[in-house]
Amino acid sequence: MDNVRVIKNPVVYLNLCVMRDKNTDSQGVRIAARKITRCLLYEAAKNLPLVDTEITTPLTTFTAKTVDPDINLIISPILRAGLIFTDEAIDILPQATIRHIGMYRDEKTLKPVWYYNKVPMEAPNPEKFYIYITDPMLATGNSLIEAIKLYADKGIPIDNIKVICMIAAPQGIENIHKHYPDIEIITAAIDSHLNEKGYIVPGMGDAGDRIFNT
């Protein structure tokens, strides 16, 4: 599939098995999920612009590469399950800002319903913005499309916006690419299909419930 990066890494496979298993308790799901998010975020971070910086080690001074400190790096978790990415994200990318997006899925229509939006900012230099929208489950893709729109409508280049998920359904990927053909989706797995209730099969069940023990 174009514009979909599936992370092929034994650490990811191992932790996907733990996370998906119905016998794994909530704490186990969270631990496994965080390890997967870390791998996904490292992969996403490959698009960040670099600058030279002078570093003095105990031995010498030299010019090293680092992440451009002048970019606006935004992690946008879709509440609530997307929160599982945030601790890892700010650990490995300390300059990131977290901007939450609250949407739930109407159980009948499967359409997203907004309840919280922490993306009120203008983007005066849109090319300086780098956005990672996080949601462990890319099911119908409807919430993610709304979230992408929020940023794309501010003029942020689509190349600077990434969707990061753990498990994706083919229908959801297709839906996102129908609206935004050029957006890159980074995922740990592409599963078989969505069932009639909009759950990913084989999936992991309700990610929010499994992560937050509800």
203 φ, ψ (degrees, to nearest 5): 60, -150
Examine residue 106 and tell whether it contacts ligand URA (CB under 6 A): no
Examine residue 207 and tell whether it contacts ligand URA (CB under 6 A): yes
> Alpha carbon 22 to chain centroid distance?
23
Examine residue 182 and tell whether it contacts ligand URA (CB under 6 A): no
Q: Tokens 């997967």 appear where?
A: 36
Is the bond preceding 20 in cis, omega lying within 30 degrees of 0? no
Choice between 83 and 207, CB closer to ligand URA: 207
Examine residue 131 and tell whether it contacts ligand URA (CB under 6 A): no
Helix, coil or strand: residue 23: coil
Choice between 35 and 105, CB closer to ligand URA: 105
Look up residue 202 and give its two tokens. Answer: 């084989």
Span near ligand URA by CB under 6 A; candidates 36-44, 47-55, 95-103, 192-200: 192-200
Span near ligand URA by CB under 6 A; candidates 8-16, 18-26, 89-97, 204-212: 204-212
Look up residue 49 and give its two tokens. Answer: 């612009």
Give CA–CA dist 38/91, Å, rounded: 10
Contact residues toward ligand URA (CB under 6 A) are 81, 137, 139, 198-200, 203, 206-208
